[in-house]
């Protein structure tokens, strides 16, 4: 009896039959020029938990969000790739790339996915790709695709506030988290049987982008990619380093150090207060009366949690 029971439990924990092995669905380097912002919600009650029981999700989220650091990166074009072989079940294109606002919400209603593609992998398995760039969809209903086939490009269509690919994995209509395809929607914390062909690292927060500016930049310019100078005049009003990050938790520490041709310019430590999907901080120093010594300035941004370095980024600027 005991043997029968444990056998049954072991079988129930296996992914369902015919589960496809998934290739990474975006043509960028995760942790380098793109990152994972949100995972499937593993808390069916109100509130949210990602598969590690961390906060990188939101209530009712049914997929994984592969995000780009700026709109500029989206405009340059990053391909969305079929994660496994299959047949295209449906597509949509023609929706505008725009950030969700109160004003355009009604126009997006019922088309939350934006421009997208659904692929049927057989045995009830399908993947759906959302928020593709307007005019980028390159496949049509009925097309046979292999893993890695270009479907379109990462965009900003549908219900979204940052450029990213949302991919949903489903089996028989049920949402499956490719990082933790547990049969129990409320389990988290002990991931196993991930469906990725190349294991994807869980990053519990990190730096999206850092740069120099001559003052505190507007958050919209940080997100668009407009913020960040390669050259700054010696008599600019100030020398500022900004840090754009994701997945903050309370008591995370952002250390920013600026050094120049004559040594340390400033060091400042900023403590983050709460869980936030995205945030930005900037510190700097007013320009001295005689101007900054000309040369290369380097900013080092270090993000730490519980005494351990989570991420570090170096940025530089030429003062002339």
CB neighbour list of residue 239: distance below 8 Å, 6 or more residues apart? 212, 214, 232, 258, 265, 284, 285, 287, 292, 297, 317, 319
**CA distance readout (Å), 1 to 4, 6, 8:** 5, 9, 11
For Zn ion, which residue has the nearest CB?
166
**Encoded tokens for 156:** 């900003």
User: Does an H or E element contain 95, and which?
Assistant: none
Residues that bind Zn ion in the complex, under the rule CB under 5 A: 63, 65, 166
C-beta of residue 262 within 8 angstroms of C-beta of residue 109: no
Q: Tokens 């900013």 — which residue?
A: 299
Question: Smallest distance, Å, CB 178 to Zn ion?
Answer: 13
State the DSSP code for 222. Answer: H
For Zn ion, give the closer residue by CB, 66 or 280.
66
**CA distance readout (Å), 308 to 197, 219, 254, 302, 305:** 29, 27, 12, 10, 5
For Zn ion, give the closer residue by CB, 63 or 152.
63
Question: Smallest distance, Å, CB 131 to Zn ion?
Answer: 8
Question: Smallest distance, Å, CB 160 to Zn ion?
Answer: 8
**Cβ density class 69-86: b for 16+ within 10 Å, e for less:** bbbebbbeebbbbbbbbb
Question: Smallest distance, Å, CB 43 to Zn ion?
Answer: 16
For Zn ion, give the closer residue by CB, 39 or 71.
39
Question: Smallest distance, Å, CB 156 to Zn ion?
Answer: 13
Question: Smallest distance, Å, CB 125 to Zn ion?
Answer: 19
For Zn ion, give the closer residue by CB, 83 or 313.
83
For Zn ion, give the closer residue by CB, 166 or 305.
166
Strands (E), 180-236: 206-213, 231-232
**CA distance readout (Å), 115 to 95, 134, 254:** 6, 7, 36
Q: Burial level of 103, CB count in 10 A (0-12/13-18/19+)?
A: exposed
**Encoded tokens for 49:** 């938990």
Q: Tokens 């900054």 — which residue?
A: 292
For Zn ion, give the closer residue by CB, 65 or 97.
65
For Zn ion, give the closer residue by CB, 12 or 105.
105
Question: Smallest distance, Å, CB 17 to Zn ion?
Answer: 27
Question: Smallest distance, Å, CB 130 to Zn ion?
Answer: 7
Q: Tokens 């938990």 — which residue?
A: 49
For Zn ion, give the closer residue by CB, 121 or 166.
166
């Amino acid at each position: 009896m005991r043997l029968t029971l444990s056998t049954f439990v072991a079988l129930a924990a296996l992914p369902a039959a015919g589960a496809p092995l998934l290739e990474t669905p975006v043509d960028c380097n995760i942790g380098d020029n793109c990152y994972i912002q949100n995972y499937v919600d593993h808390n069916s009650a109100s509130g949210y938990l990602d598969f590690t029981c961390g906060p990188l999700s939101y209530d009712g989220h049914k997929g994984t969000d592969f995000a780009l650091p700026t709109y500029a990166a989206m405009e340059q074009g990053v391909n969305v790739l079929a994660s496994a072989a299959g047949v295209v079940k449906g597509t949509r294109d023609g929706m505008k790339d725009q950030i969700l606002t109160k004003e355009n919400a009604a126009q997006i209603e019922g088309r939350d996915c934006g421009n997208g593609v659904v692929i049927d992998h057989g045995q009830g398995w399908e993947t759906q790709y959302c928020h593709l760039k307007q005019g980028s969809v390159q496949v049509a209903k009925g097309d046979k695709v292999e893993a890695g086939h270009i479907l379109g490009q990462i965009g900003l269509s549908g219900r979204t506030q940052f450029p990213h690919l949302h991919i949903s994995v489903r089996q028989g209509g049920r949402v499956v988290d490719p990082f933790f395809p547990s049969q129990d929607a409320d389990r988290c914390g002990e991931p196993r049987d991930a469906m990725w062909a190349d294991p994807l690292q869980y990053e519990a927060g990190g730096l999206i982008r850092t740069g120099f500016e001559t003052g505190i930049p507007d958050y919209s310019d940080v997100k668009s990619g407009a913020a960040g100078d390669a050259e700054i005049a010696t008599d600019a009003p100030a020398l500022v380093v900004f840090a754009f990050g994701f997945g903050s938790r309370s008591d995370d520490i952002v250390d920013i150090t600026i050094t120049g041709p004559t040594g340390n310019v400033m060091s400042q430590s900023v403590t983050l207060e709460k869980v936030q999907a995205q945030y930005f901080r900037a510190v700097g120093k007013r320009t001295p009366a005689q101007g900054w010594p000309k040369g290369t300035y380097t900013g080092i941004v270090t993000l730490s949690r519980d005494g351990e370095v989570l991420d570090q980024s170096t940025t530089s600027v030429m003062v002339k």
